[in-house]
Structure 1
Amino acid sequence: MSTAYLNQTLRILTLFILVFGILFFGRTVLIPLTFGAVLAMLLLPICHWLQSKGMNNGLASALSVVFLLLIIGSLITLLQYQLSDIINDLSKIEERINDIITGLKSYVRQHFGISNQEQQKIIKEQQSGGMGKVAGIFTALLGSLAGIIIDTILVLVYTFLFIFFRGHFKKFILRMFKPENRDTTAEVLQNAGTVTQQYLGGLGLMIIMLWVMYGIGFSIAGVNNALFFAVLCGILELVPFAGNITGTSITVLMALAQSSDTKVVIGVIITYGLVQLIQTYVLEPLVVGDRLNINPLFTILIIVVGEAVWGIPGMILAVPLLGIFKIICDNCDLLKDYGFLIGPPKEKKGEEGNFITRMFKKSK
């Protein structure tokens, strides 16, 4: 290996470390900005369609954001309607939780020899000074809620501005490259936008299908307010790996609190298993597909890195951002080796298919 090649590799790795450092320390500013850019790419087809009907750029950009707000508002209204039914059943849920606690106390008394009075004393000791902790938690929640509202407004503003000034931003990026490289740069920008739209559009369609399957499964299992939990599980799919497990865990806990029938819990678990099988082997290959063309190892790795750098927003944004980065690598001579590393192994003709299926094929 030549010294020049080694120095070039070290410079690129140093650049990666510097970029991740900037992402970590600038996350307060960069997270809403990145969400705005990604949503703008997703809404561009709507804006183009409105402009093709004779609307000017400003009105089409504003209506694209309004369309996004209508979708979000509809989901919130649906969840709020279902949540009101859950709140009306709080007294029954509280009784069920008290029964569960009583059963746990009885189990502890029988198996560990700790009387109910001693258990109550331990609980009171743990709760001593708890009002201050509760107040602190309440204050932190209010602060988090205020931060979420501010970030949401910023994301919507950024989304509108990215759509409205997209031509200006594109010209700026092209001006940064030599004239002979501008055609390639324009193609990279076009491909990055197209791949992001296809991936996020496919993901949205898959989430709608998950709502239907979870809704049917939870209704058959006998879960109260099945639609609420179906929508919740589908939305949490935006958080890869952890989201579906979290949504199903919440549904199981609420099923336990709402009913003493273990068949309901078993039905929820069976529904989760069946939906995951259909999602992995049918929906993801057909609806989402290999839009981003990324190696599964790096898909998992970037999600872990995204969580470490930006938390849950990083997990949501990590995969589409890695897909954009791979497109850049594939069109940049200095980064082509990294694009090859991030991408999946090249398959022979006729061997394409689901990654899980290919794993168990005998090698020739």
Structure 2
Amino acid sequence: MTITITSVIKRLLLIFLVIAGLYYAKAFLMPLCFGGILAALFLPFCNLLQRKKIPKFIAVLSCLLTIIIIVGGLFVLFGWKISDLVKDVELLKQKAIDSGIQLQTYIFNRFGLSNEEQLSILKKEQPSYANVMQTMVGSLSSLFGNLVLVYIYFVFLLYYRSHIKQFLLKLSLEKNKAEMENIIQTTAKVSQQYLFGLFKMIVCLWILYGIGFSILGVKNAIFFAILCGFLEIVPYIGNIVGTIITAFVAALNGAEPSMLGSIIIVYATVQTFQGWVLEPIILGPQVKINPLFTILALVLGQLIWGIPGIILAIPLTAILKIICDHIQSLRPYGFLIGELESEKSENSFIHKIKSRFSEIIRK
């Protein structure tokens, strides 16, 4: 089929309209996407409970209770570790004051601005406490409301999953129903494997960072290990941010340059192990997204939905790739999003090394 300029313009216009729709429907779609991803993650557990003759409604509520316990546990753990950090707040405050004084001196020597002039500029730029409190209250209210919506969508998407599946089948022509059912089952299965694999990889990163930071003697090593591992949801950027925060707090606590360098080495070592061993074993190549589209997805997610968009970008892009790979007309787009054929080739140098690593770990 010949691609004309008109068809290209129509496709670009469609993409633009989809992006605009995602942007303006943020308040509706964002909790729905979170609820849908969590429902896909807990679908095997829900099916397991139902196979054990547990009523469907009780099985769904059990899944809800499980996710509430997990999220609550993470909040408690982070709160506990943050309270440990708060105990050192006076030391951190003094360090910040000393750094501020040094910065003021540098600005005075470099630009000739006195301390009074610098403070005057800061006061003009700083928002009032009332505005800060109002923003915080509004953000917390929005967070709580969205969290409730996520749980509601999670419950109903799990409960009505068969109904939704039948709806998709009814949309298909009679001759395409078998193919559609195969697409739904395969997409759901691979999506669950990807999401559960991502969760397992985050747990592995918690362990690896925890061991590395503990050996170095980093204060609150477990907290920073969990932070760095959890930020894996944002590829490339997340772990770098977590490591920078770890090194920054360690520096404020008086860490030697050798320890700061060791923190960077731990980060590089864990990332190498993750890329060469964990990803091939846990995630596999079927949902591998090439770096170009990883960055594009993160940037687009941030532009459309902000920080939640960054968190959702990679899982949604991976699920989109899975769907494209299983629909004949969309396979070129799945190919475009996926990794390079040379990287997947069994004869490639990278593939051979990764396969060797995988064999060693499995043994």
TM bracket (short chain): 0.7 to 0.9
| CA distance in 2 between partners of 1:234 and 1:103 (Å) | 34
Q: Contact conserved, 1:221 with 1:263, CA < 8 A, in 2?
A: no
Aligned counterpart in structure 2 of residue 350 of structure 1, from 346, 349, 360: 346
From 303, 306, 317, give the equivalent of 2:312: 317
**Pair 1:223 & 2:218 matched:** yes
Aligned to 1:168: 163
Q: Secondary structure at the match of 1:128?
A: helix
The answer to whether the aligner puts 1:240 opposite 2:238 as a matched pair is no
In structure 1, C-alpha distance between the alignment counterparts of 2:123 and 2:313, rounded to whole Å: 42
Task: State the alpha-carbon separation in 2 of the partners of residues 60 and 354 from structure 1.
Answer: 44
Query: 200, 204, 210: which is aligned to 2:205?
Result: 210
Q: Following TM superposition, by how much is the alpha carbon of 1:134 offset from its aligned partner in structure 2, in angstroms?
A: 3.5
Residue matched to 2:130: 135
Question: How many residue pairs end up in the alignment?
Answer: 353
Distance 1:223 1:356, change over 3 A: farther
1:192 aligns with 2:187: yes
What fraction of aligned residue pairs are identical, expressed as a percent? Answer: 37
Which residue of 2 is the match for residue 85 of structure 1? 84
| C-alpha spacing 1:261/1:299, structure 2 compared with 1 (3 Å) | closer
1:177 aligned residue (160, 168, 172): 172
**In 1, Cα distance between equivalents of 2:282 and 2:349:** 13
Do the aligned partners of 2:212 and 2:266 also contact (CA within 8 Å) in 1? yes
Determine which of 307, 322, 326 is the counterpart of 2:302.
307
State the one-letter code of the partner of 2:187: A
Residues 345, 351 of structure 2: 8 Å contact kept: no
Which of residues 118, 121, 140 in structure 2 aligns to 1:123? 118
- TM-score when normalising by structure 2: 0.87
- The answer to which of 6-15 and 89-98 deviates more is 6-15
Change (3 A) 1:218 1:295: closer
Distance 1:168 1:140, change over 3 A: same
Distance (Å, rounded) in 2 between the aligned partners of 1:61 and 1:207: 25
**Residue matched to 1:362:** none
The runs of 5 or more residues in structure 1 that have no matched partner are 359-364
Preserved contact between residue 228 and residue 243 of structure 2 (Cα < 8 Å): yes
157-166 or 235-244, larger mean C-alpha shift: 235-244
Paired position in structure 1 for 2:110: 112
Q: CA deviation at 1:74?
A: 1.3
Q: TM-score, normalised by structure 1?
A: 0.87
CA contact (8 A) 2:243 2:267 kept: yes
What is the distance in 1 between the residues matched to 2:10 and 2:107? 60
AA in 2 matched with 1:229: F
How far 1:260 moved relative to its partner?
5.0
Paired amino acid for 1:98: I
